[in-house]
Amino acid sequence: MGLKLTFAPLTDVGRERSENQDAYGSGALDELRFYVVCDGMGGHRGGSTASKLGVQVIEQQVEGADGPVPERLRSAFLAANQAIFEKAQAEADLNGMGTTAVVLAIEPDTGRAWVAHVGDSRIYLVRGDRVRQLTRDHTFVQRLVDEGLLTRESADSHPQSNVILRSLGGQREVEPEVSAAPLQVQEGDAFVLCSDGLHGLVAEQEIAHAVRSLSPDEAAAHLVSLANDRGGHDNITVEIVTVGELPEPAEQYVIERPPPAPGTRLALAAAQASGAADDDASPSADDSDPDIETTQPSRHLAATDDYDASAPRNAWAGPFLITAVIVAILVVGGALFGLLRSSPSSVAPRYSPDAGSFDDEPENVESSSAAEGEHGDAPLDPASDETDAPVPPTALGAMVVGDGSGVGSVDDVEAAAVEAAELEAVAAEAIGDEPSPLAQHVRDGSGAAAATRGDEGSGARE
């Protein structure tokens, strides 16, 4: 003989709405009982149409399908999503409509149960002195909580608490959340399915006390009345399913929340903590009820080896700054090196740190005037024996430009050198270092031309 299930539904328009856009349903097959609550959205007509169509399609699909229950539930949600989406596309006044949906499916003979949902309608399980939330809200605010950006206490009062991230009919495709493994139902269990018009105004402690103190019908009426007394700002729907005889109510209930969504910051932290705990745990650890998700670390969440829950969210700033400084140094160095190597003679002017400018007198040559006077504006001969000699800055422009096949004019070279020196000075300051004398010389404005041509008093070319 199977479980004895008692079912009591109730829906109410609330105190502020003119139309009830919630809907509920149920089905009783030989091998399966299932219960549905939908909360519509999308305008005066759209919300009501979406919720009713959602209940209708889910009922038809679950009753008419065969196979494992989780697959039937998933297929029913996908079919309902397609039906609502296509109807919204076909009728302009329904465009944008959608609905949340929660389904509880129970096999009375085996005592196994499954949960499927989309959106922020919920299913609670009251068992012993615990209230377990079996569904995780698909909302913007819940995402903030899962990422550790918002406390659970402040979530209900958040101005965007009604922003839904997942619904039936809202998009062409949706992925419902369906129990991977069945929950084993026990004698004395009580399930509560409800829209946010109830759980947004009535606390879990009150829900648990009502279902354990009153009959299912009385409990449903009491909970709806509580929500209306507190404003009734939305439609209110509740379904209560009890299993056999219920025990006496507890004085206080422990509230167990679902784990954070996989891949979120808190989920990764919980998975990492669970992995560390598993290393020290004994084989006798209590895994007697792995089917119900609680706030305990979940073993099926994937952990990352290098995740640090205590690390600040802007921890990337330091490495990024260091990388940027290194890149700047490389760019400056490359620019200077390319500038000085661009001459066919592969020579470079020699800089004197003490003097703060290029040396006026070349070394290892008989005279600098010979190098300039004999060749005029032509580049130095790379085949000559004097290619290792430093070149005064007044010849730098000629070396680079040459016969017109070089990189540009003297002005171009000056601009490139100034830009490179300024970049080098910025990079040096970023890492707390002193810029080179040349970079400082240019940055101080003591003669940008001197960086490429030399001071006018030391032989600058006309």
Radius of gyration of the chain from Cα atoms?
38
Please report the pLDDT score of residue 152 as a whole number: 85
**What's the half-sphere exposure (Cβ side, CA atoms, 13 Å) at 252?**
1
Q: 228-237, 371-380, 441-450: which has the minimum mean pLDDT?
A: 371-380
In this model, does residue 399 exceed pLDDT 50?
no
Instruction: Convert the pLDDT of each residue in 355-383 to its tens digit.
Output: 444 344 444 444 333 334 443 443 434 34
Q: What is the distance between the alpha carbons of residues 29 and 60, in angstroms, rounded to a whole number?
A: 12
Q: What is the distance between the alpha carbons of residues 167 and 302, in angstroms, rounded to a whole number?
A: 26
The fraction of the chain above a pLDDT of 90, given in percent, is 53
Instruction: Convert the pLDDT of each residue in 241-257 to its tens digit.
Output: 999 999 999 999 999 99
Instruction: Convert the pLDDT of each residue in 101-118 to its tens digit.
Output: 999 999 999 999 999 999
Please report the pLDDT score of residue 354 as a whole number: 46
Q: 32-36, 90-94, 395-399: which has the minimum mean pLDDT?
A: 395-399
In this model, does residue 283 exceed pLDDT 60?
no
Q: Which domains does the chain have, with CATH numbers?
A: 5-273 (3.60.40.10), 317-458 (no CATH)
Please report the pLDDT score of residue 157 as a whole number: 82
At residue 331 the predicted structure's pLDDT band, cuts being 50, 70 and 90, is low
Q: What is the distance between the alpha carbons of residues 417 and 297, in angstroms, rounded to a whole number?
A: 60
Side chain identity, residue 384: S
How many DSSP H helices and E strands does the chain contain? 13, 14
Please report the pLDDT score of residue 271 as a whole number: 87
Q: For residue 125, what is the enclosing H or E element? A: strand 122-127
Q: What is the distance between the alpha carbons of residues 239 and 225, in angstroms, rounded to a whole number?
A: 14
Q: What is the distance between the alpha carbons of residues 177 and 138, in angstroms, rounded to a whole number?
A: 10
Q: What is the mean pLDDT of residues 12-24?
A: 96
Instruction: Convert the pLDDT of each residue in 202-221 to its tens digit.
Output: 999 999 999 999 999 999 99
- Average pLDDT over the chain reads 75
The fraction of the chain above a pLDDT of 70, given in percent, is 60
Highest mean pLDDT of the ranges 117-126, 258-267, 337-346:
117-126
Instruction: Convert the pLDDT of each residue in 66-110 to its tens digit.
Output: 999 999 999 999 999 999 999 999 999 999 999 999 999 999 999
Q: Which is nearest to 237 in space by CA: 201, 264, 265, 270?
A: 201
Q: Cβ(439)–Cβ(421) under 8 Å?
A: yes
Please report the pLDDT score of residue 155 as a whole number: 85
Q: Cβ(388)–Cβ(395) under 8 Å?
A: no
Q: What is the distance between the alpha carbons of residues 168 and 54, in angstroms, rounded to a whole number?
A: 8
CB-based contacts of 185, cutoff 8 Å, min separation 6: 3, 106, 111, 112, 113, 243
